[in-house]
Amino acid sequence: MTSISFRGIRKTFGSTVALEALDLELQPGELVSLLGPSGCGKTTALRIAAGFEIPDNGIVSLGDNDITRTSAHRRNMGMVFQSYSLFPNLTVAQNVEFGLRNRKVEKVKRNSRVGEMLELVQLSDLGKRYPHQLSGGQQQRVALARALAVQPEVLLLDEPLSALDAKVRATLRDEIRRIQTELKTTTLFVTHDQDEALAISDRIGVMSNGRLEQLGTPEDVYLRPASPFVARFVGSINELPNVNGSGQILVRPEDVTISVDENELTMRGTVTRVTFQGPVKIISVRVDVVDQLINVHAASGSVHTEVGDRVSVAVAPGRGIIEAA
């Protein structure tokens, strides 16, 4: 278990600033997700950690060692890529063994380690297959086993689930978390999928335009967003004009309460749509005072209302953040 830290990392590609003064430290054994839209700099940060890119400024440290300019093949890091990265000419077992051979581990130890890793990702029977004979999910599991086989000090995951279908994605996501917790490997996970980040991270770093907007636990990021960008990017949000001042109020659908009694809550409106989503239903209400639609999450059995009904809504006390104009 080792910590990894980025201090004042800046990286530009031509005139484009990919990272602007990134400061981030991962504690030993911690899983931190970098979450953000395309082009926010999260993958650049990961590639800098891996040694595929050299920052213009700043220091990357592994434990107490400055590795900013250490060549990629001399850093003891495991990485799982977004696209399928298994070597097509090697079998599953040979793929997992590749890093161990590079480290000149003797054959008996190599074989036993390959066996352990394939068992860990539950693919013990597929060692002799070639990558093209595996499904996408199996390929990514092999890639994970290959990355972990070398006992990396840090595991880097570059959107490893994005090419998979929803069901496989959810299963593999939980498996990654199980294995990471079991091995206590410090892990940097890059994703643009907030559900993934919220589900498996110890902490989440939300990025925008090369900057870290907020770094905190999933609860912090979701319930106490540090900026309107974080509020909008993580989870869904209602944007209401601030009737008591300038700017807007940003409030999550589950932080809005609804009553079928038109006079009970502060804002009146008309139901325009009801979408059943299993445990919750999403009720869209056009609010009279601001003539704007807001979505309300209500437990499925709790509120009985239909399109055209008159209702009243209110922001739950202490919820929502005000965005200045």
Q: Which residues bind another protein (CB under 8 A)?
A: 50-52, 71-74, 76-79, 81, 83-89, 98-99, 102-103, 130-139, 143, 146-147, 150, 156, 164-165, 168
For the CB of residue 197, give the shortest distance to another protein in the complex, in Å: 22
| CA–CA gap between residue 163 and residue 112 (Å, rounded) | 30
The single residue listed with the structure tokens 């056009």 is 286
Using CA atoms, how far residue 181 sits from 1, 156, 187, 261, 301, in Å, is: 12, 15, 10, 48, 37
Smaller CB separation from another protein, 139 or 191: 139
Smaller CB separation from another protein, 120 or 164: 164
For the CB of residue 140, give the shortest distance to another protein in the complex, in Å: 10
Please give the order of strands across the beta sheet that includes 16-26.
16-26, 4-13, 57-62, 65-66
For the CB of residue 324, give the shortest distance to another protein in the complex, in Å: 43
Smaller CB separation from another protein, 74 or 304: 74
Smaller CB separation from another protein, 189 or 229: 189
Smaller CB separation from another protein, 77 or 294: 77
Smaller CB separation from another protein, 94 or 217: 94
Annotate 273-317 with DSSP letters as a single string.
Answer: EEEEETTEEEEEEEETTTTEEEEEEEETTT----TT-EEEEEEPT
For the CB of residue 191, give the shortest distance to another protein in the complex, in Å: 17
Smaller CB separation from another protein, 149 or 321: 149
For the CB of residue 91, give the shortest distance to another protein in the complex, in Å: 10
The DSSP 8-state label assigned to residue 324 in this structure reads P
For the CB of residue 42, give the shortest distance to another protein in the complex, in Å: 16
| CA–CA gap between residue 217 and residue 23 (Å, rounded) | 16
The single residue listed with the structure tokens 């399109």 is 307
For the CB of residue 126, give the shortest distance to another protein in the complex, in Å: 13
Nearest of 288, 286, 224, 48 to residue 296 by alpha carbon: 286
Which ranges constitute the DSSP H helices of the chain?
42-50, 92-102, 107-120, 136-149, 166-183, 194-200, 218-223, 228-233
The tokens of 105 are what? Answer: 């581990």
Nearest of 6, 25, 66, 8 to residue 186 by alpha carbon: 25
For the CB of residue 141, give the shortest distance to another protein in the complex, in Å: 11
| CA–CA gap between residue 27 and residue 184 (Å, rounded) | 11
Smaller CB separation from another protein, 147 or 231: 147
Per the CB < 8 A criterion, the answer to whether 86 and 130 are in contact is no
Per the CB < 8 A criterion, the answer to whether 283 and 303 are in contact is yes
